[in-house]
Amino acid sequence: MKIGIVCYPTFGGSGVVATELGKALASNGHQVHFITYSQPARLDFFSENLFYHEVSVSNYPLFDYSPYEVVLASKLVDVVRYEKLDILHVHYAIPHASAAFMAKQILATYGIHIPVVTTLHGTDITLVGRDATFNPVVTFSINQSDGITCVSEDLKRATYEHFDVYKDIKVIPNFIDLTRFSLKKKDHFKKAIAPNDELIMVHTSNFRRVKRSTDVIRIFKKVQEKVPSKLLMVGDGEDRGNCEQLCREFQICDHVRFLGKQEAVEEILSVADLFLMPSNTESFGLAALEAMACKVPVISTNAGGLPELNVQGVTGFLSTVGDVEDMAKNAIYILEDAERLEKFKENALARAKEFDLSLILPLYEQYYKEVLDATLV
């Protein structure tokens, strides 16, 4: 099968999932063409079945804002025609689904029908898509897709609740490549972070307000008073400065390290003991799944799709958004007893195995087949 994948080429969840999916499809014998404005961050190896097509946007004095959606649609037409693609899989509704619809209409004039699968990832529905300026286009583009998937039951519910979508949505959860995350702990790295055998807590995010990264600092302060521990803050964004300032106010700077953006996050997670995710909302919680794949239990909120991943009292604990006291209490409960901590770690890994790539990839392949079969009727 020849598959075109359209995604954001960043470290964000949708881009990571799209890239890892494409790489897995290529390894399974499919020809995969990535179409986006720069090479995806995780597209880091050569394969005879992997191709990358750059969407290049020219700057003209006439435009205050470059019309990326139009240029993307034109590029899709070009790639579909000359690479003879069988199907397009667009990740994130805005603007990829609408660009795909435009491309479909143009391709039809050449006698080419290209089915489109749109995958909804989260903020394209729960945040950006709800903006009244985007809502009509998002709704139309989703309904014009030949197939629709989303990453959690909660996101499916939110899509039907906030958009006039009349088509069926198939839930295919995010996944993890366990072979990548099954790393041996690097004792020298762990010793450098925690020289006195302190326990290590980790938070990874883009430090947007929705991630509530400052809550991580507040949770850690309370935990550190009871359990000797260190905190690693991985990522960067608008709230990083506020987190650093809070560390100074709490006088815990010696116990917190800000590591910035990291590609090999699995190496950091491999030495961690607990993962913190106090987000306002998460459509799935891919970062939490990555932690669990490294045998790291999770303290999270009960927002969005997180209860579908993090099992209360088994792989970690769920708390109400903003309840720092409860999250700190639960973190201390897990960390203060070595045997209990090890049990939570084993449970976290067992849960992560349920989302292994080898189990999720066939769901996408089967869905592609169903969409292709339906469009041939």
Query: Regarding the domain delimited by 178-353, which CATH topology (the fold level of the hierarchy) does it fall under?
Result: Rossmann fold (3.40.50)
- CA atoms of 315 and 298, how far apart (whole Å): 6
**Can you read off the two tokens belonging to residue 116?**
């489109």
pLDDT in the model for residue 277? 98
The pLDDT tens digits along the chain (377 residues) read 999 999 988 756 778 889 999 999 999 999 999 999 888 777 776 788 999 999 987 776 666 667 888 999 999 999 999 999 999 999 988 889 999 999 999 999 999 999 999 999 877 776 665 677 788 888 999 999 999 999 999 999 999 988 899 999 999 999 998 988 776 666 778 888 888 999 999 999 999 999 999 999 999 999 999 999 999 999 999 999 999 999 999 999 999 999 998 878 888 999 999 999 999 999 999 999 999 999 999 999 999 999 999 999 999 999 999 999 999 999 999 999 999 999 999 999 999 999 999 999 999 999 999 999 998 76
CATH of domain 2-175+357-376: 3.40.50.2000
pLDDT value for 62: 66
Question: What is the C-alpha separation between 81 and 35, in angstroms, rounded?
Answer: 14
Bridging pattern class, strands 31-36 and 50-54: parallel
Whole-structure pTM over 0.75, yes or no?
Answer: yes
User: Which residues of the chain does CATH 3.40.50.2000 include?
Assistant: 2-175+357-376, 178-353
| pLDDT for 332 | 98
Buried b (16+ CB within 10 A) or exposed e, 24-46: bbbeeebbbbbbbeeebbbbeee
